[in-house]
Amino acid sequence: MRENIYEHFLPEERPFVDRAWEWVVNAATYHEVKLSDFLDPRQGQIVESLANRHPDVALRLDGGSPEAERRRALIAPDYRDIAAEPMGMKVLSITSSDQKFISLQHGDYLGAILGLGLKRDKIGDIHVHEDGCHVVVTEEISAFLDVNLRQVHRVGVLTEIVELDALRTASAALEPLDITVASLRLDGIASDVFRLSRSKIVIPIRAGRCRVNWKNEEDPSKLLRAGDVVALQGFGRFKVLETDGMTKKGRHRVRIGKFV
């Protein structure tokens, strides 16, 4: 059975597939309830795919808001009403009186939290506003963050734990960028977006530091399409918004949204 499952996923995804399938089997066979940490969208797809393979399992994915990117999975026997089950999430509200506070970005907040020794899978979406930031976190780390998070990128901050119904969401800010490229290859588009030569951009891609739609991608020649989200560790993320025809010189017009 497991070999049949593996053929639907990438080889490097097998350790997570094994864990997720165990959650599903335990829920169906031993009536266990599993609440995962925060999953990225690809992990969420894997769990959903596996849960759909078992008729005796119910699944709920929740990240605190309908548009949440990172969500926790609640896996239970199908006879349980999981809609009302607690998902173990709190909101860390971050504010400051320092004028430099308004220049802080998503990466600054994430870096400060991870710098306290916490794992990424304990942290959900980060919603940045001009007057503050709301971070969805697992309930068990909320008190620790409230006590210990006192600086973000050398800016002094104040924190407060609030309930999920007080969450203020924010859409990810995308900086528009119009480029023309010889082809829609990953390395060509990424080199223009991050302003690196083609020879330099292929190094992190082949080293396994690139994800396309949250799946590892080590092939620099992979063709991108509108809607694809590319993350290159150490450089940032971008989304292909449009592939808008050709120029007179035969180059592809591409509209990019760079996450800021």
CATH for 174-259 (3.10.290.10, 3.30.450.150, 3.60.9.10, 3.30.43.10): 3.10.290.10
CATH architecture assigned to 2-84: 2-Layer Sandwich (3.30)
Report H helices in 115-249: 139-148, 186-194, 198-206
Name the strand (E) or helix (H) holding 113. helix 106-114
- 133 touches 94 (CB < 8 A): yes
Three-state DSSP state, 105: coil
Which pTM was predicted?
0.84
Q: pLDDT of the chain along its 260 residues, tens only?
A: 566 788 888 888 999 999 999 999 999 999 999 999 999 999 999 999 999 999 999 999 999 999 999 999 999 999 999 999 999 999 999 999 998 898 898 889 999 999 999 999 999 999 999 899 999 999 999 999 999 999 999 999 999 999 999 999 998 778 999 999 999 999 999 999 999 999 999 999 999 999 999 889 999 999 999 999 999 988 999 999 999 889 999 999 999 999 87
Beta partners for residue 210, in sequence order: 232
- 254 touches 214 (CB < 8 A): no
Superfamily, domain 89-166: RRM (RNA recognition motif) domain (3.30.70.330)
Show me where the domains of the chain are located: 2-84, 89-166, 174-259
Q: Largest Cα–Cα distance in the chain?
A: 64
Provide the residue type at 220 as one letter: P
Chain mean position to CA 189: 21
Three-state DSSP state, 99: helix
